[in-house]
Amino acid sequence: MAEIVTLSEAVAATVNDGDVVAMEGFTHLIPFAAGHEVIRQRRRGLTLVRMTPDLIYDQLIGMGCARKLVFSWGGNPGVGSLHRFRDAVTSGWPLPLEVEEHSHAGMANRYVAGASGLPFATLRGYSGTDLRDQTANVASVTCPFTGEILTAVRALNPDVAIVHAQRADRAGNVQMWGIVGVQKEAVLAASRSVVTVEEIVDELEPVPGQVVLPSWAVSFVSLAPHGAQPSYAHGYYERDNDFYVSWDEISRDRVAFTDWMQRHVLEAEVAR
Amino acid sequence: MNGWNADEMMTVAAARQLRRGAVCFVGIGLPSTAANLARATHAPDVVLIYESGCLGAKPSRLPLSIGDGMLADTAVAVVSVPEVFNYWLQPGRIDVGFLAAAQLDRFGNINTTVIGPYDAPKVRLPGAGGAPEIAASCQEVVVVVRQSPRSFVERVDFVTSVGFGQGAGDRAKLGLRGNGPRVVITDIGMLEPDPTTCELTLTHLHPGATISQARAATGWELAVAADVHETPAPTDEELAHLRRLNATIDK
């Protein structure tokens, strides 16, 4: 059964220095509040896993939390580059960042394998690309039935998965809807999980297209209203596209970035 | 209507590639604009697939990201990311994929990963995203890229997505089931693969552009078709719809 605790308690109980941490949410429901709590708790040496690092990992990387990034598309959607990610890769600031990259299909299938309790997944992918030479986690496999050569990707089994959802009930069952990305797979693939939610309700009313994570598949649920901002929570608030555009300027400069993080994350008022 | 600029010409040319009823995998930026322009003009029934899992989205304004809530609100179905790649893209259910490129070679191989050596990149680009499997599995691919010696290179620094590999026959050898790039649309004109060698060949020039301009913007000895056509200029109707759409981004 999921325990309902504060976000700071949930992060303290699940995320250790050096852990492999996946914070998922495909453009939608990105767990920013939880990411900021990880920054405030000054976790170090993390291997950060996420299909689209987005601003949340730009922030964690720029604040020195990460040792390694596993990802498939590292840009600011519709805007341009992630400057903290680029600075870490090309100049080692604030720390050198090891990179392991995949395609979206590869990452998605790695989570599926992890959630399925399988050591790998198969797909038609990576063939002919240089991506496969840069990681030991992609290989060829021969189909035992047809003899066809396919691509195998190693399962992803993070130590911790952190996702955001719209609602949970008081027993800790979690409900999300809209674009649901790979959140379910990430939670089921991980050893421990934290789900932040917009609200905790008595009863989860069904919603079309919903994904429900049963309480017993989740470690901790924490209330974090607006916990996805500047990403969004379908049915609650919209994506703050203006912020995504303004991040380009904020993050371009090391000092401006550090100053922004100091004011908006490290010194932020947090409900405990 | 007033004159048009290179971006408008590229977007209009890309939109025209979409036939009625085509199922189209769209990335953000120019591809999304082009697909929505096609929907607003000659192909109202074009089916837009966004990699965020929105199948058949009908946005009334242009999204800033591939995951804006409006896409889910207007979609026929919203599916998970593993599903969009495994069930919809991989088996060949998508007709057309649009791709962008930082670098492209004469066989339409695409780099969106790094400029310079992989281990010490001069420029770190966003990376692969959905592109490698879009390039592999869509029935056909439309590449949209500005043409310059920096983007049209003899050899891409990194093969993120495969066009025709080293030439004819390579796609089959690699097990890539889609047909690969059908056309490359640039700010100068359009290139299509030679039916025999698969080498990209200049077949169209946009109004005002010249063959020598295209050659100068290409980092290899550019193949030019015997008969190079002029791309029809954007019509008043196309431009009006395009400008209306562009005014809706992030509003």
Model pLDDT, residue B156: 98
Q: Are A145 and A255 in a shared domain?
A: no
Contacts of residue A178 in chain B, CB cutoff 8 Å?
A: 69, 72, 78
| Averaged pLDDT, B110-131 | 95
Q: Which residue of B29, B53, B159 is in closest CB contact with A179? A: B53
- Split into its structural domains, chain A has a count of 2
Q: For residue A148, name the pLDDT band (cuts at 50, 70, 90).
A: very high
Residue B164: CB partners within 8 Å, gap ≥ 6?
Answer: B107, B108, B109, B170, B171, B180, B181, B193, B198
Contacts of residue B69 in chain A, CB cutoff 8 Å?
A: 28, 178-179, 232, 234, 238-239
Per-residue pLDDT tens digits for A255-269? 999 999 999 999 987
Per the CB < 8 Å rule, is B127 touching A127?
A: no
Residue A199 CA: distances (Å) to CA of A35, A175, B1: 18, 10, 52
In angstroms, the CA A108 to CA B77 distance is 19
Q: For residue B68, name the pLDDT band (cuts at 50, 70, 90).
A: confident
Other Cβ atoms closer than 10 A to B131: 31
Helix count (H) and strand count (E) of chain A?
8, 15
Checking if the pLDDT of A270 tops 80, the result is: no
Q: Are A191 and A57 in a shared domain?
A: yes
Model pLDDT, residue B243: 95
Higher pLDDT, B68 or A163: A163
Checking if the pLDDT of A156 tops 90, the result is: yes
Tokens of A72: 């498939």
Q: Are A90 and A191 in a shared domain?
A: yes
Contacts of residue A129 in chain B, CB cutoff 8 Å?
A: 128, 132, 159-162
Model pLDDT, residue B30: 87
Nearest of A267, A1, A31, A77 to residue B129 by alpha carbon:
A77
Q: Which of A132-136, A265-269, B54-58, B213-217 comes out lowest in average pLDDT?
A: A265-269
The distance from CA A11 to its chain's CA centroid, rounded to whole angstroms, is: 14
Tell me if A81 is assigned to some domain.
Answer: yes
Q: Which residue of B64, B118, B123 is in closest CB contact with A241? A: B64
**Which residues of B are catalytic, by number?**
51
Model pLDDT, residue A269: 73
Q: For residue B247, name the pLDDT band (cuts at 50, 70, 90).
A: very high
Q: Are A89 and A171 in a shared domain?
A: yes
Q: Are A19 and A148 in a shared domain?
A: no
Model pLDDT, residue A30: 98
What is the per-residue DSSP string for B15-48? HHT--TT-EEEE-TTHHHHHHHHHHHTT-TTPEE
Q: For residue B250, name the pLDDT band (cuts at 50, 70, 90).
A: low
Q: Partners of A135 in the beta sheet? A: none
Tell me if A272 is assigned to some domain.
Answer: no
Checking if the pLDDT of B157 tops 80, the result is: yes
Q: Are A187 and A229 in a shared domain?
A: yes
What is the per-residue DSSP string for A204-232? ----TT-EEE-GGG-SEEEE-TTTTTTS-
Model pLDDT, residue A271: 53
Model pLDDT, residue B146: 95
Nearest of B86, B85, B67 to residue B75 by alpha carbon:
B67
Tokens of A220: 């901790």
Tell me if A23 is assigned to some domain.
Answer: yes
Contacts of residue A134 in chain B, CB cutoff 8 Å?
A: 118
DSSP B85: I
Residue A267: CB partners within 8 Å, gap ≥ 6?
Answer: none
Q: Which domain holds residue A131?
A: 104-154
Q: Are A138 and A174 in a shared domain?
A: no
Q: Domain with A230 in it: what CATH number?
A: 3.40.1080.10
- Which residue is closest to B84 within chain A, CA to CA? A105
Q: Which residue of B64, B90, B170 is in closest CB contact with A78? A: B64
Tell me if A271 is assigned to some domain.
Answer: no
pTM above 0.90, yes or no: yes
In angstroms, the CA A193 to CA A21 distance is 10
Contacts of residue A126 in chain B, CB cutoff 8 Å?
A: 132
- Which residue is closest to A79 within chain B, CA to CA? B64
Q: Tell me the nearest-neighbour CA distance from B226 into chain A, angstroms.
A: 32
- Which residue is closest to A113 within chain B, CA to CA? B82
Q: Are A135 and A236 in a shared domain?
A: no
| Averaged pLDDT, A31-49 | 98
Q: Tell me the nearest-neighbour CA distance from B211 into chain A, angstroms.
A: 32
Q: Tell me the nearest-neighbour CA distance from B79 into chain A, angstroms.
A: 7
Q: Are A121 and A222 in a shared domain?
A: no
Per the CB < 8 Å rule, is B80 touching A28?
A: no
Looking at the complex, does the CB of residue A248 fall below 8 Å from at least one CB of chain B? Answer: no
Q: What is the share, in percent, of chain B residues with pLDDT greater than 90?
A: 90
Could you tell me the maximum CA-CA distance found in chain A, to the nearest angstrom?
A: 59
Tell me which of B80, B107, B162 to substitute to probe the interface with A (most A C-beta atoms closer than 10 Å).
Answer: B80
Residue A1 CA: distances (Å) to CA of A131, A202, A216: 40, 16, 4
CA B241, B244, B250, B251 torsion-angle sign: negative
Q: What angle do CA B227, B231, B233 make, to 5 degrees?
A: 150
Q: For residue B28, name the pLDDT band (cuts at 50, 70, 90).
A: confident
* Torsion on CA atoms B137, B129, B33, A247, rounded to nearest 10: 180
Q: Are A117 and A211 in a shared domain?
A: no
Q: Which residue of B72, B121, B162 is in closest CB contact with A234? A: B72
Q: What is the mean pLDDT of chain B?
A: 95
**A172 contacts A212 by C-beta, under 8 angstroms:** no
What chain B holds in terms of domains, given with CATH numbers, is: 6-246 (3.40.1080.10)
Q: Which of residues 88-127 of A touch B (CB under 8 A)?
A: 89-90, 101-105, 108-109, 111-112, 123-127
Q: Tell me the nearest-neighbour CA distance from A8 into chain B, angstroms.
A: 28
In angstroms, the CA A139 to CA A130 distance is 12
Tell me if A123 is assigned to some domain.
Answer: yes
Q: Are A67 and A178 in a shared domain?
A: yes
Residue A27: CB partners within 8 Å, gap ≥ 6?
Answer: A52, A54, A77, A179, A181, A231, A239, B52, B65, B66, B67, B68
Q: Are A29 and A136 in a shared domain?
A: no
Contacts of residue B78 in chain A, CB cutoff 8 Å?
A: 178-180, 209
Model pLDDT, residue B63: 87
Contacts of residue B123 in chain A, CB cutoff 8 Å?
A: 86, 90
DSSP A134: G
Checking if the pLDDT of A272 tops 80, the result is: no
Q: Which residue of B28, B85, B131 is in closest CB contact with A77? A: B28
